[in-house]
A and B are shown apart, each in its own frame.
Chain A
Amino acid sequence: QVQLMQSGADVKKPGASVTVSCKASGYSFTGFYMHWVRQAPGQGPEWMGWINPKSGDTKYAQKFQGRVTMTRDTSTDTAYMDLSSLTSGDTAVYFCARPLCSSIRCHWFDSWGQGTLVTVSS
């Protein structure tokens, strides 16, 4: 079965950067886009962007342009999300999510990681 295993919780100071990893198993890693979604405390989900694990192509939400970088390592079936210049407003749970189909337009996420809490505090 599809599993997405994320890295553990992290605490960062304002201005720092954070990397969250997402190790995929149970399916062909390069066959499906990987999306990243975050959720601030008490708020709804917020889409951050996607990476095509086969080509490395990325698309980022405009809000995060210039601050987010999504990469992947096909030798370990792992996707990474880097977010820089952190502020307290970036405190959130970060999820990786896989769509249920392989098309670029397929945005229905039937598999999610367990979430990684990133706390930004001085």
Chain B
Amino acid sequence: SYELTQPPSVSVSPGQTASITCSGDKLGDKFPSWYQQKPGQSPVLVIYHNVKRPSGIPERFSGSDSGNTATLTISGTQAMDEADYYCQAWDSNTVIFGGGTKLTVL
């Protein structure tokens, strides 16, 4: 079965750039997306179709992909960005989520 691999944790200082990676076989062909989830809340879509940003999501969130790796980049990270981030992909008519990355803003 298809798997997505994320680092368990990433730390960043306020105002700096955070990068969270997601790896999977030919991931770029599977239209990856990214979700932000804060404790006790439902996930929020922040990037879809590899690089697109839904309306209402700040411009500091951006996505990129290169072959087997998708990257979520948060520029000028703010304290409010501290959350769990999950990548997601579509494979063989099923939806797969990564294990998640806890972003800590120190």
Contacts and interface: CB of A to CB of B under 8 A. Distances in A.
13 contacts: A44-B84, A45-B86, A45-B97, A46-B97, A47-B94, A59-B93, A59-B94, A95-B42, A105-B90, A108-B48, A109-B45, A110-B54, A112-B43
Interface residues of B, number: 22
Interface in B9-59: 31, 33, 35, 42-45, 48-49, 54
A35 B97 CA distance: 14
Nearest to B1: A62
Given A45-B86, A107-B88, A61 B48 contact: no
Contacts, number: 52
Q: Identify which of B44, B45, B84, B93 gathers the most chain A CB atoms within 10 Å of its CB.
A: B45
Contacts of A16: none
Contacts of B97: 37, 44-47
Interface string B59-81: 00000000000000000000000
Contacts of B45: 100, 108-110
Given A100-B48, A107-B88, A108-B48, A47 B95 contact: yes
Nearest to B44: A112
Interface in A39-53: 44-47
A120 B42 CA distance: 21
A58 interface: no
A35 B95 contact: yes
